[in-house]
Structure 1
Amino acid sequence: MVIVSELVSNAIRVGGPVPVDMCVTRWSSGRPVLRIDVVDGGRRLPARTRWGSFPDDAACHGRGLPLVDMLADQWGSEHRPDGHHVWACVRDCSRDDSAGAVA
């Protein structure tokens, strides 16, 4: 939920006054994965900031994407004709069929 919250709140904050589209997809190709996709009308891609490298510790913004980076197995962003697209993938441990397997 933290990843969804951060990606959507960033899209609302910097994406401009256009609708934000979000999709969560689950698939399994060996291991279950959740993919979160957020598309907004913004023209600016998110900056990759490392945790602990914030210029101002009192700043109200700037910690969300480092959290996404820590929690997601993969994430990225790309320009689209209608704005930009940010995505994140995480392993779906809640439905991992192999979690209870005995060798």
Structure 2
Amino acid sequence: DAIHNFSDMASLVIAFGARKIARRPADAKMTFGYGRVEIVAALINYTSLILIGVYLLYEGVMRWIEPSEVAGWTVVILGGVALAVDTLTALLTYSMQ
């Protein structure tokens, strides 16, 4: 869950930065503007999600092979933090449309 929270925050920061850069007007060096920065940011976000997904799949298989004890309160606290971060991400995404 900590990886999920980190990836959410990192994706939000990358998207926010790309949106700021993409709004710049065209100039002599960038005659079509900076709109393609959002595409590069999306590529970075999707690539990181794929890598994190592969890592989580690996961890899941390893826990299936060799199970460990679940720390209940840790799961509840991290779930609450994840819910708060996801809510913040949704609100910021909605406000930026």
Report if TM-score (shorter chain) is over 0.5. Answer: no
Q: What TM-score, normalized to structure 1?
A: 0.28
More helix by share: 2
Q: What TM-score, normalized to structure 2?
A: 0.29
More strand by share: 1
Higher relative contact order (CA 8 A, sep 6+): 2
